[in-house]
C-alpha cells in the first residue's frame, strides 16, 4: 500500500514477453535442427518436415512482430550497475542481431520459395502471395543466404545462451531471473513484471 511510485523499478521482462521468449526459443531451435534434418535426408519424411518447417517459420514471423510490439511497449529491466560497459554494449548489440535474425530468416525462406516459383502453403490450404518475382538466380542466392544466416543465427544463440548461463550460475546478478518464471529469490517481484521499491 505504501508503494512509492517514483521508486518502482522493473526487475523482470513483462510476463507476455517472457512467455513469447521461451516459446520462440523452443520453436527456433526446432527449426534449425529441422532445417539440417531436411537437407540431409531423402527419406519419405522430407515433404512432411518441409511442410512443418514452412508453417512454423511463418508462425515465427507473426510471433516476432507481436514480440517487438510487446518489447517496445513494456520496457526492459535495468542491468546491474556493476556490469562493465562493454558487456552492456554486447548485450544490446546481440539482442538487436537476434531480432534481425528472427525477422530475416522467415522472410528469406518466404522470398526464396517465391523466387523459385514454389507455393508457400500454410494452415492447410492458405497460399501466401509471392513476395518476389520468379527468378532462378535469385532463388539460388536466397537459398545460400538462408543457410548462411541460419549458421550465424545458431552461433549467436550459442553465445547468448552461454552469457545467460554465466549470469545465472556465476554472477548470479538477477539477469537470468529477469527472463525466468516463478517467485524471485529476493521475494520482491510478483509475476506481473514490476518490482516493489
- The yes or no reply on residue 102 touching ligand HEM (CB under 6 A) is yes
Choose the binding region for ligand HEM from 2-10, 24-32, 130-138, 184-192 (rule: CB under 6 A): 24-32
One residue of 14, 109, 115, 174 binding ligand HEM per CB under 6 A: 109
Q: Are 88 and 79 in contact (CB under 8 A)?
A: yes
Q: What is the DSSP string of 151-176?
A: HHHHHHHHHHHHHHHHIIIII--STT
CB of 136 to ligand HEM, least distance (A): 14
- In this structure, the chain runs to a length of 197
Q: Are 196 and 2 in contact (CB under 8 A)?
A: no
Helix, strand, coil percent content, the chain, rounded in steps of 5: 65, 5, 30
User: What string marks each residue from 153 to 192 as x (binds ligand HEM by CB under 6 A) or -?
Assistant: ----x--xx--xx---------xx-xx-------------
Supply 193's cell numbers: 513484471
Considering Cα of 17, then 23, then 29, then 31, what sign does the dihedral take? negative
43-72 residues near ligand HEM, rule: CB under 6 A: 53-54, 57-58, 60, 71
**Contact set with ligand HEM (CB under 6 A):** 13, 17, 21, 25, 28-29, 31-32, 35-36, 38-39, 53-54, 57-58, 60, 71, 91, 95, 98-99, 102, 105-106, 109-110, 113, 120, 146-147, 150, 157, 160-161, 164-165, 175-176, 178-179
Amino acid at each position: 500500500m505504501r508503494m512509492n511510485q517514483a521508486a518502482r523499478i522493473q526487475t523482470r521482462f513483462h510476463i507476455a514477453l517472457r512467455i513469447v521468449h521461451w516459446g520462440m526459443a523452443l520453436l527456433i531451435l526446432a527449426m534449425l535442427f529441422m532445417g539440417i534434418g531436411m537437407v540431409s535426408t531423402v527419406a519419405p519424411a522430407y515433404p512432411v518436415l518441409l511442410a512443418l518447417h514452412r508453417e512454423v517459420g511463418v508462425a515465427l514471423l507473426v510471433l516476432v512482430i507481436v514480440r517487438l510490439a510487446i518489447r517496445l511497449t513494456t520496457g526492459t529491466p535495468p542491468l546491474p550497475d556493476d556490469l562493465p560497459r562493454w558487456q552492456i554494449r554486447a548485450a544490446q548489440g546481440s539482442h538487436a542481431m537476434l531480432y534481425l535474425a528472427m525477422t530475416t530468416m522467415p522472410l528469406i525462406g518466404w522470398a526464396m520459395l517465391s523466387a523459385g516459383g514454389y507455393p508457400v502453403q500454410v494452415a492447410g490450404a492458405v497460399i501466401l502471395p509471392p513476395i518476389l518475382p520468379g527468378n532462378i538466380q535469385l532463388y539460388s542466392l536466397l537459398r545460400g543466404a538462408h543457410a548462411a544466416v541460419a549458421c550465424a543465427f545458431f552461433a549467436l544463440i550459442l553465445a547468448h545462451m552461454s552469457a545467460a548461463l554465466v549470469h545465472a550460475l556465476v554472477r548470479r546478478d538477477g539477469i537470468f531471473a529477469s527472463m525466468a518464471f516463478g517467485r524471485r529469490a529476493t521475494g520482491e517481484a510478483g509475476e506481473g513484471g514490476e518490482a516493489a521499491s
